[in-house]
Every structure is written in C-alpha cells, then in structure tokens.
Amino acid sequence: MPRLATQIEAILYLKGKPLSLAEIAECAGCDREAAEDALLELMADYAHRDSALEVVETPAGYSLQLRAAFGNIMQNLVPAELGVGALRTLAAIALKQPIAQTELIELRGSGAYQHVQELIELGFVQRRRQSEGRSYWLQVTTKFHQHFEVDRLVPPMHAPSKS
C-alpha cells in the first residue's frame, strides 16, 4: 500500500480542484490529523524537489497545481477557455477587422466591453486608439491565427456574372 502522502497526491491530481482537509481525509479513508500530517509531508516534498508542480493551500482548499513560473508555457500550450459570448465577439472582430470598438458594441451589446478586455489579455485581439475620435480600432493578432489555425481571413469572392 502506498504511503498516505502518495495517496493524497493521487487524490489531488485526480480531483483537479482544491479540496478541504475534511474532503482529503474522507477520500483517503483516514482521520483529519493523519491527512494533515501527510499533506504537510507532501508539501515539503514538492518544495524540495525540482518540479513544475507544487501543493499549495488556497482559500478554496489544498491543490496540486503548476508553479507560477510555468504560467507562460501553459498559456502557449493550453487552449484558452472562452465563453460563447467572447467567441462571438472574437468572430465579429475577425470578420470585420479593423472594426471600431463603438461599432462592435453596437453589434454585440455592452457585454462586448468585457469580452474585448478578456480577448486582449489572452493575446487574441489588439487595439489601438483612433487618430480621430475617442474609440479604438480592434483587430485579431498573430496568436489568434496560430491558435485557431487560420492562415488569413479573406472576404468571399463573388464569381463574376456571365452576361
């Protein structure tokens, strides 16, 4: 039988979310004190090894997570989680770029302000201030093209009429 610290490591990995001490003890089939001792042992073990992972206590409970130093790798490798609204806003920007933020808000509603901020933070959209006016021009970035495997966006060509 693996040691309790190793069992708790497996529990944290499999659950994939922060767990309270009581939840950990219940999953491991031990009392809270034994779970706490094993958890401290596990935390010390991770603190002294050269690992991309760490066990931390968060406000929501104990969690096995990627060390902050690897955040940039995660952003490049793990697809961004975008809600339907943000995806629709991104699609509107991609299809109509460059688009004035005011025009986008007219199309998508005031919720698009938050979507634009999220898309900028994720690196899918860039904005630049208009030379005339108070709005911004929005357009997709190279990261958008790479992430969504889009070579380029071209408006559909209409076939010439044969008259």
Answer yes or no: pTM beyond 0.85: no
Judgement on whether residues 141 and 95 belong to the same structural domain of the protein: yes
Owning domain of residue 134? 84-147
159 lies in some domain: no
78 lies in some domain: no
Give the residue-averaged pLDDT of 96-116.
Answer: 91
155 lies in some domain: no
Q: Output the pLDDT for position 159.
A: 44
User: Is the distance from CB of 93 to CB of 127 less than 8 angstroms?
Assistant: no
CATH of the domain at 105: 1.10.10.10
Domain total of the chain = 2
Of residues 157 and 52, which shows the higher confidence score? 52
Of residues 40 and 143, which shows the higher confidence score? 40
Judgement on whether residues 11 and 66 belong to the same structural domain of the protein: yes
Judgement on whether residues 45 and 96 belong to the same structural domain of the protein: no
120 lies in some domain: yes
SS (H, E, C) 6-50: HHHHHHHHHHCCCECHHHHHHHHCCCHHHHHHHHHHHHHHHHCCC
Judgement on whether residues 143 and 99 belong to the same structural domain of the protein: yes
Q: Output the pLDDT for position 158.
A: 45
What's the rounded Cα separation, in Å, for the pair 109 and 117?
Answer: 14
154 lies in some domain: no
Judgement on whether residues 9 and 68 belong to the same structural domain of the protein: yes
* Rounded alpha-carbon distances, angstroms, from residue 89 to 27, 29, 70, 93, 95: 42, 47, 29, 6, 10
